[in-house]
Structure 1
Amino acid sequence: MALGYKQQQRVEEDWRTMKSGLKMHPVFHWAPHRIHAHIAITELAPLLERVIERDCQDTWRNMRDDLTRLQLAPLSSPNRTVWQVTEPSPAAANRLKSLKLNPPQARLSATHT
C-alpha cells in the first residue's frame, strides 16, 4: 500500500514538473479523441522516465539535467533561417550513448523566407 502511495506521489510530482516547464494551464477536453490522447500522454510520460532510468541506471532528474544542455536555436538572416543544435556536453553524449541514440545533427534544416 505504501508503494502505491509513493508511486502516486511520483506521478503527481512528474505532472507538476512537466506543467511548470511547459507553463501549462488547466486543459479541458470535450472531444473523445482528445481525451484519449491526453490520457495516453499522461500515462506514457512516467513510463518513458522509468524506462530511461532503468536503461541508464540513474535518476530521471540527473538525466534531464544533462540533456537539457542540448539546445536548438534559430539563426536567421534576411533570406533564410537555419536551425542549429548545440554540441552535446560529454555528460549528454554519454547519456545519449547509453540510450543507444545518435547525437542530433549540428544543423537540422534551412528554410527560405
Structure 2
Amino acid sequence: MGTPRDFENGDYEYYKENQGITKSYYLIIFISSLLISIIGGSMLGWWLHKYHPTNRQLWMVPFGLILLLTPVLVWLSLIISDLCISKKEEEDVLKTNQQRIHPLDESLCAPKEMIL
C-alpha cells in the first residue's frame, strides 16, 4: 500500500495501484456478476417454458428479474460514477482523508508524571 509520502511526491499512479485491488480481482467480480445474471435469465426461461401456461410458481419471475438486472445496474452505476469523478477531485479527497499521526502531548492518553 502506498504511503502518504509517496502521494505527496506526486506519484499518484503508484498510490492508486497499490490500494489492494488488482485487475484479477475485478475480473473475478465481473465473472461472478455475469454468472448471477445468467442464473436469473435461466430461471426466467425455465419459468416461461415450464410454468407460464398454468401461471404457477410466480415467485420465480421477480426473483429471476432481480438476479438478472441487479448486477447490470450495479456495474452501470459504478461506471457512471467513475466517469463523473475527475482526477483532481479524487486527488483532493485522498489528500484530505490521509491520516496524520500527532503526538499525544497533553492529552488524556498521554502518560503523566507521577506525583508522590
- Please give the range of the TM-score, normalised by the shorter of the 2 chains: under 0.3
TM-score by length of 2: 0.26
TM-score by length of 1: 0.26
Greater helix fraction, Structure 1 or Structure 2: 2
